[in-house]
Structure 1
């Protein structure tokens, strides 16, 4: 179980690092766009990301990861 958590955390850090390394100006624009959204819209987007992430983890585990 801890191996899977470490693997997931490592993959998240790789993707985040790639975005910051390859497109730092995109991060600035995304942060400005997020700041313009009302808090409720950000909350819904966060919950949607949570549900999609849980579904992906569940699918990976059911496929044998």
Structure 2
């Protein structure tokens, strides 16, 4: 459970760095996300999910 809380904290840190350091970039990324087709967002989400699982697996072994 501690690892899950730490991982969520790191996600918030990464998000916070983006919004604090480059607000125009964050807004542009949100606009592109809204305009992207659902299938493209779903494929990106699945890719990022698999990459995240792979990174965690490599870090734990």
The TM-score, its normalising length taken from structure 1, stands at: 0.86
Superposed counterparts of 1:47-58, under 5 Å = 47-58=46-57
> What aligned pairs does 1:1-65 form with structure 2 within 5 A after superposition?
2-62=1-61
Count the aligned residue pairs. Answer: 61
Q: Partners in 2 of 1:15 and 1:37 — Cα distance? A: 23
* Unpaired runs of at least 5, structure 2: none
User: What is the CA-CA distance between 1:48 and the residue it aligns to?
Assistant: 0.4
Tell me the CA shift for residue 18 of structure 1: 0.6
TM-score normalized by the length of structure 2: 0.91
Cα deviation code 1:6-65 (max 9, x no counterpart): 111111111111111111111110011112211100100000010001101111111xxx
Q: CA RMSD in A?
A: 0.9
